[in-house]
Amino acid sequence: MAPLLAVDDRIVDYLPVLILFLFAIGFAGLNLVVSWLAGSKGKHNPVKDAAYECGLPPITDAHQRFSVKFYLVALLFVLFDIEVVFLYPWAAYFQEPGRQVFLFAEMCVFAGILFFGWWYVVRKGAVDWAKE
């Protein structure tokens, strides 16, 4: 006699993912409920609700304008930092025998393109803070 619930073996392989997903949802929901229950229900005080920064009262507007160079440097940091993520699988795959020469040449091309991008950014003066 066939079982009532015939579960494919491939679906059972995803059971840990489902358990982790349910745990994450439950943990997030539990944190929201506990913070709501433990949160202050008292009256709001403007002194207590003020932003705390180094023990000093805020003296400037929080919506001041920043130079675009801040955002440019942040974007460049993210751009040139992400390539490190590509180095880990390359290093793991580099251990396989017979592929080292190809993988080394491939990484040299990748590093060359990356170096050219950095050279272009420096040459254009995107990271030169003293220039006005």
Residue-wise pLDDT tens digits, 65-121: 877 788 888 888 888 888 878 888 888 887 777 888 888 888 899 889 989 988 998
- pTM for the complete prediction? 0.45
pLDDT for res 19:
95
Instruction: Identify whether the C-beta of residue 80 lies closer than 8 Å to the C-beta of residue 114.
Output: yes
Contacts of 127 (CB under 8 A, 6+ apart): 73, 76, 121
Contact 58, 47 (CB under 8 A): no
pLDDT of 19-66, one tens digit each? Answer: 999 999 999 999 999 998 988 777 777 777 776 666 666 677 767 787
Which residue, 74, 78, 132, 84, is CA-closest to 111? 84
What is the spatial distance between Cα 15 and Cα 94, in angstroms, rounded to a whole number? 32
- Quick one: three-class SS letters along the chain? CCCCCCCCHHHHCCHHHHHHHHHHHHHHHHHHHHHHHHCCCCCCCHHHHCCCECCECCCCCCCCCCCHHHHHHHHHHHHHHHHHHHHHHHHHHCCCCCCHHHHHHHHHHHHHHHHHHHHHHHHHCCCCCCCC
Q: What's the rounded mean pLDDT across residues 112-131? A: 84
